[in-house]
Amino acid sequence: MLTITESDLVRELAIKWEEVGLQVVKELVVPIIDNIYYDNYLEGRDSVRIDLAAYDPHNDKIIFVEAENGLYLPHPQIYLPFCNELYVLCPEDNSSFRDEQVEWSKKEGIGIIEMSEEKNIST
């Protein structure tokens, strides 16, 4: 598995998306508004930080990306009510639990974006 920091992953994806005309914001902080949406993960928090947010003007979609050091999908589904598309961004992963994580993410409506050592991106 490729070793790369979350900030490097985000930076590389942001560059690629900007090249195709998406408007991107790294580390978008969104305040939590009481009574709008509740999740146990959000309890006691004033805001959430989204690693990469993008607006796709070609398709009029808001996209959120949660960067992880591996293919772990612990909590990104909390962002689903606030975007049109949600992805986990991680290094290319061929671990034994990959298939399980891919199936779970499909069921939850979360896409997976993987980056290879050559900085190629696949979904």
Taking the CA atoms of the chain, what radius of gyration do you get in angstroms?
Answer: 14
In a domain, 94, yes or no: yes
Question: Shortest CA distance to 82 belongs to which of 53, 43, 44?
Answer: 53
Number of domains in the chain: 1
pLDDT over 90 (residue 51): yes
For residue 48, give its domain range.
6-122
**Domain CATH for 68:** 3.40.1350.10
- What Å distances lie between residue 15 and 1, 8, 9, 21, 110, CA to CA? 22, 11, 10, 10, 22
- Angle 3-85-17 from CA coordinates, rounded to 5°: 60
In a domain, 1, yes or no: no
pLDDT over 60 (residue 35): no
pLDDT over 60 (residue 53): yes
- Angle 66-10-64 from CA coordinates, rounded to 5°: 35
Locate 92 and state its tokens.
């290319």
Most confident of 35-39, 56-60, 115-119: 56-60
Instruction: Please tell me whether the overall predicted TM-score, pTM, comes out greater than 0.85 for this model.
Output: no
- pLDDT tens digits, residue range 61-107? 999 999 987 766 666 777 888 899 999 888 887 777 788 888 888 88
